C-alpha cells in the first residue's frame, strides 16, 4: 500500500543504538497484525478461520482487517458495493468478528479493528465494473492536483475539501460502527498524498469564499495548507464525536505517517515533519485535541540501515511523548526486516522515553509478509512465543497472553463532549465556516465544517453558553450542560434578521420545466433549479414574490451555486413600486453567498413586487441557476 511508503536506503552511519532489556510481559498491551485485503484472505469462511487462528497462534490480542480498500466493502455495506471476489451471501466482517470474539475452550479473544482506506477511491486506470461504485457515481468529487489531473500515482481519490465527500465518508464509517460488533475502526490514508493536491473546484471555491480570495492558491500557500489540514481534522472530529455518542466502547484509530527525517519536538513537527507539511496530516494535533483513541504511527524503517534505525527510535519516542491522555500503538514494518530485527523493533516499543512515557502496544505490518526473508508466517509467529534461533533474548517477546489496556477516558470518564450542526434560515442549509464559541468552565472558539458540523471534545462538566454567528443571519446564543462520559447535542438554526424575507427556490413560481439539482455544495438549502438558456424570447422563468408587510425600502440579494457551465449574463428583473430594472449576473463566479443585485428599491405592502429570472441569455449552452432571493429592509 502507498501509505506504507518508506524512503529508500540511505548511507550507513555509525550510531549508538539503545539496548532492550527483556522481561516476561504480563501487563496489558496491544499486540496485533494488519491483514491487508489484497491477498484474497476474506473470500470464504474457511480463509477467515485461518486468519483468526494464525493471529491467535502468536499470542496476539488484536487484528486489523482491511474492510474497505478503494470504495469497496468486505462486508454488507449500505453505501458501497461488495468486493467482487466475495459471494453475495457471505459477510466476511461478520464471520471474522464471530470467530475473533469466540472464547470457548480457552481461546484468546481478539479485538477486531475494521481497517478502512479513507480518501483513495479507485486504483488503476480501468474504472470499477460496479455501476454503483462511488467512483462511477461521483466523478465530480474527485481530487485534483494543481495541474488539474485526477489520476495521480495510479490512484483516484476523493477530495477532503468537498462537503459531499465528507458526508459520504462519514456515512460509510458510521455504517460499520452502527451495524457491526467491532472493537475499533481505523483510518488509513486519512491525508492527502502531497501538498500539490486538493484542487477540486468545489474545494477551491470554498477556500476562496472563506478568505475572500480569487483564482487558484499555490500549493505552498500556508493558509491553503492549513485549510486543507482542517478538512482532514474535521472528518476525524465528526466521526470521533458520533462514535462517542452512539457506541462509545468502539475505539477510533488512525494509521499515521512518520517518514524520514524523524522529529523529536513540537517545533520540529510543524517545521519539518512530512506528515504535517507534505501530506497535511496533523496527527499530533488530533492527539492533543483528543479526537483519536489510538494513534498508530506506521514506523516503517529498516533496522539494517543505521539512519533508518535511528529514525525508528526517534519516531516511537516522539509518538509516546505525544499521547496526550490517549493511547499510541507503534507500527513497525515487519516486511522490511528480518525476523530477528522485527522482534527487536517490537521490543523497542516497550522502552520508556526519558520522560517516562511509553507506547501502549505494537502492531506489525503485516500478516501477509511478516519478514523480508521469505520465512513463513507460522515460523515467524512461533519465534514470538517460543525460544528460537531468531531471538537470543529470553523469554520470547510474546511468551504469555496479555489483556487489552483499558481506556480510562472511556471506562472512568471525567470529561464530556459537545456536538451539533449549525444551519441558516432552513434546516436544509448547512453553514460552512460559522463562527462558534463556548463559555463556561473553559472557553473555546471554533468554526463549523463544510457539512455544518461542529464539536468540542473533553469539556469539564458544568454549564456553558454556546454562541454562533454567520454573515447574513442573526446570531444565536443558547445554554447547554456537560456531563462526564456523555455527548451533548445542540443543533442550531440561525434565523434571517428581522426585516428580512428569504424565498428559497421551492417557494418560487415557475414557467417551463426546470431541473432540480442537489450536487453543488454552495447551494442555499437542500436543492436548486436550473434551465438551459435560449437565444430568443424566454421559455423559462422563475418568479420570487415576497409578501411585504408595509411600504419600505429594500436591498435585494440572490444566492446561486456557481460553475463554469453557468450563464455569465443571467437576467434578473426586479419589479417594485419604483419601477422595473433588469440586472445581468455572472453566475460562473461569486456563488455560495448573498450577492447584492439592487439596493434602495421601494416595495409597497403586499405581493405586487417580485424578482424574476429568465433563460433569455442569447445562447443555448449555459444554464441559469434559480436558488434563493433575499429582501433586506433598510
In this prediction, residue 5 carries a pLDDT of 42
pLDDT at res. 15: 34
Query: What are the backbone angles phi and psi of residue 410, rounded to the nearest 5°?
Result: -105, -45
Mark which of 430, 459, 494 sits at the end of a domain.
494
pLDDT higher than 80, residue 416: yes
Cα(380)–Cα(422) distance, integer angstroms: 53
Q: What is the CA radius of gyration of the chain?
A: 28
Q: Give the pLDDT confidence of 214-248 residue by residue, as tens digits.
A: 999 999 999 999 999 999 999 999 999 999 999 99
Same domain, 518 and 370: no
How far is it, in rounded angstroms, from Cα 461 to Cα 486?
Answer: 10
Mean pLDDT, residues 145-156 taken together: 98
Half-sphere exposure of 25 (CA within 13 A, CB side): 28
> Binning pLDDT at 50, 70 and 90, where does residue 426 land?
confident
List of residues 6+ apart from 408 with CB closer than 8 A = none
Tens digit of pLDDT for each residue in 267-325? Answer: 999 999 999 999 999 999 999 999 999 999 999 999 999 999 999 999 999 999 999 99
Q: Cα separation of 440 and 465, whole Å?
A: 7
Which range is least confidently modeled, 119-133, 404-418, 515-529? Answer: 515-529
Binned at pLDDT 50, 70 and 90, residue 575 comes out as very high
| Whether residues 424 and 531 fall in one domain | no
Provide mean pLDDT across the span 29-38.
98
Phi, psi (rounded to 5 degrees) for 52: -70, -45
Q: Which of 494, 525, 543 is a domain's end point?
A: 494
**Cα 169 from Cα 157, distance rounded (Å):** 12
Q: Tens digit of pLDDT for each residue in 442-483? A: 999 999 999 999 999 999 999 999 999 998 889 999 999 999
pLDDT, tens digit (0-9, with 9 covering 90-100), for 503-529: 999 999 999 999 999 988 889 998 999
Answer whether 627's CB lies under 8 Å from 528's CB.
yes
Q: For the range 78-83, what are the long-range contacts, defined as Cβ-Cβ under 8 Å and sequence gap of 24 or more?
A: 78/171, 78/175, 78/179, 79/134, 79/168, 79/171, 79/172, 79/175, 80/132, 80/133, 80/134, 80/172, 81/128, 81/130, 81/132, 81/133, 83/37, 83/42
Same domain, 324 and 398: yes
Say yes or no: 508 and 404 in one domain: no
The DSSP secondary structure of 62-87, one letter per residue, reads EEEEEEESSS-BSS--SSSPBPTTS-
- CATH number at 488 reads 2.60.40.1120
> Is 574's pLDDT higher than 60?
yes
**Same-domain check for residues 115 and 227:** yes
* Shared-domain flag, residues 364 and 425: no
DSSP type of residue 280: -
Average per-residue pLDDT in the chain? Answer: 95
Residue 351 is placed in which grid cell?
A: 522502552
Confidence of residue 23 (pLDDT cuts 50, 70, 90): low
**CA-to-CA dists, residue 177 to 242, 361, 405, angstroms:** 10, 23, 21
For 498-530, give one letter per residue: b (16+ CB within 10 A) or e.
eebbbbbbeebeeeeebeebeebbbbbbebbbb
Residue 96 grid coordinates: 471474522
pLDDT at 502: 94
The gap between the terminal CA atoms of the chain, to the nearest Å, is 60
Q: What's the average model confidence in pLDDT over 127-131? A: 97
Helix (H), strand (E) at residue 113: strand 111-117
d(CA 421, CA 495): 14
Q: How confident is the model at residue 24 (pLDDT cuts 50, 70, 90)?
A: low
- Give yes or no: residues 10 and 104 share one domain: yes
pLDDT at 472: 81
Rounded to whole angstroms, the Cα distance separating 129 from 117 reads 19
Domain shared by 248 and 234, yes or no: yes
Q: Tens of pLDDT along 189-212?
A: 999 999 999 999 999 999 998 999
Count H helices and E strands in the chain, helices first. 13, 31
Q: Which of 215, 196, 216, 202 is nearest to 145 (CA)?
A: 196
Cell of 521: 455544495
- The pTM for the full model equals 0.86
Instruction: Give residue 19's pLDDT.
Output: 46
Letter string b/e over residues 124-135, b meaning 16 or more CB atoms within 10 A of that residue's CB: eeeebebeebbb
Last residue of a domain, one of 494, 528, 562: 494
pLDDT of residue 586: 97
Taking alpha carbons only, the member of 205, 140, 209 closest to residue 168 is 140
Residue 161 and residue 68 share a domain: yes
User: What is the total count of domains within the chain?
Assistant: 3
Range of the domain at 44: 2-408
Q: Which of 482, 506, 490, 485 is nearest to 453 (CA)?
A: 490
Q: Where do the DSSP E strands lie in 360-410?
A: 361-364
Confidence band of 371 (pLDDT split at 50, 70, 90): very high
State percent of the chain over pLDDT 70.
Answer: 96
Q: How many CB atoms lie within 10 A of CB 38?
A: 10
Cα separation of 58 and 161, whole Å? 42
Cα separation values, 300 from 253, 263, 285, 295, Å: 18, 15, 21, 15
Cα–Cα distance for residue pair 590/213, rounded to 1 Å: 11
Distance CA 76, CA 179 (A): 10
Going by pLDDT thresholds of 50, 70 and 90, the confidence category of residue 16 is very low
Calculate mean pLDDT across residues 53-68: 98
Q: Of 603, 586, 582, nearest to 595 (Cα)?
A: 586
Q: Is there a single domain that holds both residue 42 and residue 185?
A: yes
Confidence of residue 176 (pLDDT cuts 50, 70, 90): very high
Q: Which three cell numbers stand for residue 415?
A: 470529561
Name residues whose C-beta falls within 8 Å of residue 493's C-beta, 6 or more positions apart in sequence. 422, 423, 424, 425, 426, 427, 476
Q: Are 470 and 585 members of one domain? A: no
Q: What does the block give as the cell for 217?
A: 492558491
Residue 171 sits in a domain whose CATH number is: 3.20.20.80
Say if CB 333 and CB 40 are below 8 A apart: no
- CB environment 176-208: b (16+ within 10 A), e (fewer): bbeebebbbbbbbbbbbbebbbbbbbbbbbbbb
Q: What is the rounded distance in angstroms from the CA atom of residue 603 to the CA atom of residue 8?
A: 71
> What is the Cα–Cα distance from 496 to 629, expressed in whole angstroms?
12
> In this structure, are residues 301 and 7 in contact, taking their beta carbons and an 8 Å threshold?
no
Answer whether the bond into residue 395 is a cis peptide, omega within 30°.
yes
pLDDT in tens, 42-55: 999 999 999 999 99
Residues 297 and 440 in one domain: no
Q: At what angle do helices 222-246 and 163-179 cross, to 10 degrees?
A: 30
pLDDT given for residue 53 in this prediction = 98
> SS3 breakdown of the chain: % helix, strand, coil, rounded to 5?
25, 30, 45
Taking the C-alpha atoms of residue 418 and residue 487, their distance in angstroms, rounded to an integer, is 6
| Cβ within 8 Å of residue 124, ≥6 positions away | 154
1 pLDDT more than 90: no
Q: Give the CATH number, domain containing residue 613.
A: 2.60.120.260
Amino acid at each position: 500500500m502507498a501509505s506504507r511508503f518508506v524512503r529508500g536506503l540511505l548511507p550507513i552511519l555509525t550510531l549508538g543504538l539503545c539496548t532492550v532489556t527483556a522481561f516476561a510481559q504480563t501487563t496489558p498491551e496491544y499486540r496485533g497484525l494488519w491483514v491487508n485485503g489484497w491477498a484474497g484472505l476474506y473470500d470464504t469462511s474457511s480463509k477467515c478461520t485461518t486468519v483468526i487462528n494464525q493471529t491467535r497462534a502468536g499470542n496476539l490480542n488484536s487484528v486489523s482487517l482491511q474492510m474497505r480498500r478503494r470504495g469497496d466493502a468486505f462486508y454488507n455495506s449500505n453505501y458501497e458495493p461488495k468486493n467482487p471476489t466475495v459471494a453475495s451471501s457471505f459477510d466476511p466482517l461478520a464471520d471474522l468478528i464471530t470467530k475473533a470474539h469466540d472464547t470457548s475452550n480457552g481461546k484468546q479473544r481478539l479485538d477486531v479493528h475494521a481497517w478502512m482506506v479513507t480518501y483513495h477511491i479507485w486504483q488503476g486506470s480501468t474504472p470499477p465494473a460496479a455501476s454503483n461504485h462511488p467512483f462511477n457515481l461521483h466523478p465530480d468529487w474527485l481530487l485534483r492536483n494543481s495541474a488539474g489531473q485526477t489520476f495521480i500515482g495510479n490512484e483516484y481519490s476523493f477530495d477532503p475539501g468537498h462537503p459531499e465527500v465528507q458526508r459520504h465518508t462519514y456515512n460509510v464509517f458510521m455504517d460499520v460502527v452502527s451495524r457491526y460488533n467491532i472493537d475499533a475502526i481505523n483510518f488509513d490514508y486519512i491525508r492527502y498524498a502531497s501538498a500539490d493536491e486538493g484542487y477540486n473546484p468545489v474545494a477551491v471555491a470554498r477556500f476562496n469564499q472563506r478568505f475572500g480570495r480569487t483564482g487558484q492558491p499555490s500549493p505552498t500557500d500556508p493558509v491553503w495548507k492549513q485549510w486543507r489540514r482542517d478538512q482532514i481534522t474535521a472528518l476525524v472530529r465528526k466521526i470521533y464525536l458520533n462514535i462517542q455518542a452512539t457506541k462509545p466502547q468502539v475505539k477510533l484509530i488512525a494509521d499515521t505517517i512518520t517518514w524520514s527525517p524523524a522529529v523529536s519536538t513540537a517545533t520540529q513537527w510543524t517545521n519539518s515533519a512530512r506528515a504535517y507539511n507534505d501530506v497535511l496530516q496533523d496527527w499530533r494535533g488530533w492527539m492533543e485535541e483528543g479526537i483519536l483513541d489510538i494513534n498508530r504511527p506506521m514506523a516503517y524503517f529498516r533496522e539494517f540501515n543505521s539512519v533508518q534505525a535511528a529514525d525508528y527510535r526517534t519516531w516511537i519516542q516522539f509518538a509516546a511523548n505525544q499521547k496526550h491522555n490517549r493511547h499510541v500503538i507503534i507500527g513497525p514494518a515487519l516486511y522490511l526486516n528480518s525476523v530477528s530485527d522485527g522482534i527487536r523493533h517490537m521490543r523497542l516499543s516497550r522502552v520508556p522515553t526519558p520522560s517516562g512515557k511509553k507506547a501502549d502496544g505494537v502492531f506489525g505490518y503485516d500478516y501477509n509478509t511478516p519478514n523480508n526473508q521469505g520465512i513463513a508466517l507460522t515460523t515467524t509467529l512461533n519465534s514470538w512465543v517460543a525460544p528460537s534461533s531468531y531471538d537470543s533474548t529470553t523469554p520470547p517477546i510474546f511468551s504469555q497472553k496479555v489483556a487489552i489496556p483499558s481506556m480510562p477516558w472511556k471506562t472512568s470518564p471525567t470529561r464530556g463532549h459537545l456536538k451539533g450542526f449549525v444551519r441558516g434560515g432552513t434546516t436544509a442549509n448547512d453553514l460552512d465556516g460559522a463562527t462558534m464559541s463556548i463559555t463556561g468552565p473553559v472557553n473555546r472558539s471554533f468554526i463549523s465544517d463544510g457539512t455544518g458540523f461542529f464539536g468540542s471534545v473533553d469539556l469539564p462538566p458544568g454549564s456553558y453558553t454556546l454562541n454562533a454567528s454567520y454573515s447574513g443571519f442573526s446570531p444565536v446564543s443558547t445554554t447547554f450542560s456537560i456531563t462526564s462520559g456523555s455527548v451533548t447535542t445542540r443543533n442550531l438554526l440561525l434565523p434571517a434578521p428581522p426585516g428580512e424575507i428569504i424565498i428559497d427556490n421551492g417557494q418560487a413560481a415557475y414557467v417551463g420545466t426546470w431541473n432540480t439539482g442537489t450536487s453543488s455544495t454552495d447551494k442555499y438549502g437542500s436543492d436548486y433549479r436550473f434551465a438551459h438558456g435560449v437565444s430568443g424570447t424566454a421559455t423559462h422563468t422563475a418568479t420570487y414574490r415576497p409578501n411585504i408587510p408595509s411600504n419600505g425600502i429594500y436591498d435585494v440579494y440572490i444566492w446561486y451555486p456557481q460553475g463554469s457551465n453557468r450563464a455569465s449574463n443571467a437576467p434578473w428583473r426586479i419589479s417594485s413600486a419604483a419601477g422595473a430594472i433588469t440586472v445581468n449576473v455572472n453566475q460562473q463566479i461569486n456563488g455560495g453567498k448573498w450577492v447584492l443585485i439592487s439596493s434602495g428599491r421601494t416595495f409597497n405592502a403586499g405581493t405586487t413586487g417580485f424578482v424574476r429570472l429568465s433563460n433569455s441569455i442569447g445562447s443555448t449552452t449555459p444554464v441559469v441557476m434559480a436558488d434563493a432571493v433575499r429582501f433586506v429592509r433598510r
